[in-house]
Structure 1
Amino acid sequence: MRYFSIICVVLLISACSNNDWRTASRQPAGIATSPSEDNRAIIEFYAADAFSWRGWFAVHPWIAIKAEKATEYSVYEVIGWQVKRGLPAIRQYQTLTPDRYWYGSKPDLLLSIKGDKASILIPKIEQAIALYPWINEYSVFPGPNSNTFVAWIGLQVPELGLELPFSAIGSGYAD
């Protein structure tokens, strides 16, 4: 049993390709369309393996929204350290590259909606974000966490047809 424990520890430690979040890749993954190449409204949901060994079990999701003719995407995500610093859990920022690696992990595109349907759904998503009930709370397990946030948006805007992966631990907290 002792050898099994040692093997598990070694595997967990070696699971992360970059042990320092400060130097882990945040480069664009090349999934998102450049705002200068597409004037349509765009909604995209991304998820990437969580940082370090947590990525074996869980993902970190985020939402990218680009209004029609906008020159940047608005990205929304829930971050635990924000709450620890006395800030709201939701982090929002503007970017040309909403598909950046999540601290060394390449994101997967979970959902992409473009054009008229996206234009109709963006205000509904923004309203759901404004009504997120756990704005000052964060807990890795069972939630509320980043997966809870994205699941909440999906529940409030069912027209999205959002499906989260099994590894979206905390997504059930929003039910």
Structure 2
Amino acid sequence: MRIFLACLALLFFLPIGTATAWWMTVDRPQSWHEADWSGTDTLPDPGRNSDAAVYVMAARTGGLKGAVSVHSWLVYKRAGAAAYTRYDKVGWGMPVRRNAYTADARWYSNRPFIIRAIRGHEAASLIPAIESAIARYPHAGRGDYRTWPGPNSNTFVAHVLRAVPEIGAVLPPHAVGRDYLGAGPRAAVDRDARDLHLSLHGLAGLSAGLRSGFEVHLLGQAIGIDVMRPALKLPGIGRVGLAL
């Protein structure tokens, strides 16, 4: 047991230390006001593509916490729409924001990446369920935000992904807050019953299932393995393996 715990600690803290050392070498803004929040052309021009689309996106967040965490958000477009709709959760005011930023904007100067992209009829069929899940998010009131262990931006997106499992996405292991299910010991099952999540106040827990693979959670980070789409999940670093 001692050897197991030592190996587990090594697998958690070595990647976090490596990510932190790398982050300290990155040129980054010192404040929110100095950061670049402009669009990046990561997403196709919505005016030139009439298809419906759904995207799950993320980017490294700002400050020192950017060493070990990303900020995630949701983007969708109905068929024929000339613009995207974006939903984020932020840490001030009414936290769930609609179109507060350009759909593919940098987050705190960090370029975003796409976790999952769905287009066409499949995307069109998912949008009503996504909107319903957003409306049912339980931490949408003023003051319902906490950077760590949650509920934060990643808690919000993870809620939608559990409620609409047809999206077929799992947030990366360094999306701090994604495993927060509420105060105290909690359990959640994705709507299609293919993934189980256990959490102790977002500080420790595990996930297992066809989408999550097997993950151990500690202090907002996760380590695990994805069997269906072979990959390692490393805290502070992310998913290392086949593309989703």
Using structure 1 for the length normalisation, give the TM-score: 0.85
- Residues 25-50 of structure 1 deviation map (CA, whole Å, 9 limit, x = unaligned): 11222210111111011111110001
For residue 91 of structure 2, the aligned residue among 77, 80, 83 is: 80
Unpaired runs of at least 5, structure 1 = 1-9, 83-87
Name 1:91's counterpart in structure 2: 97
Quote the residue 1:66 is aligned against.
77
1:32 to 40, 43, 52: 43
| Cα RMSD (Å) | 2.1
Please name the residue that 1:112 is paired with. 117
Q: Is the 8 A contact 1:48 1:60 kept in 2?
A: yes
Give, in angstroms, the shift of residue 126 of structure 1: 0.2
Runs of 4+ in 1 over 4 A off after TM superposition: 10-16
1:157-172 aligned within 5 A: 157-172=164-179
The structure richer in strand per residue is 2
| Counterpart AA for 2:96 | I
Structure 1 residues 78 and 171: CA distance shift in structure 2, 3 A:
same
Q: How many residue pairs get matched?
A: 161
* SS state at 1:121 partner: helix
Q: 1:154 aligns with which of 149, 161, 185?
A: 161
Rounded Cα–Cα distance in structure 1 between residues aligned with 2:106 and 2:67? 16
- Would the aligned equivalents of 1:73 and 1:94 in 2 still touch at CA under 8 Å? no
CA shift for structure 1 position 12:
7.4
2:108 is aligned with 1:103 = yes
- What is the alpha-carbon distance in structure 1 between the residues aligned to residue 158 and residue 27 of structure 2? 26
The aligned residue for residue 149 of structure 2 is: 142
Q: Distance in 2 between matches of 1:102 and 1:131?
A: 26
The answer to which structure, 1 or 2, has the higher relative contact order (CA under 8 A, 6+ apart) is: 1
Q: Under a length normalisation based on structure 2, what TM-score does the superposition of the two structures give?
A: 0.62
Percentage identity across paired residues of the two chains: 34
Unaligned runs of 5+ in 2: 1-20, 182-187, 189-244
Instruction: Name the SS of the counterpart of 1:171 in structure 2.
Output: coil
Which deviates more from structure 2 when the two are superposed, residues 16-25 or residues 28-37?
16-25
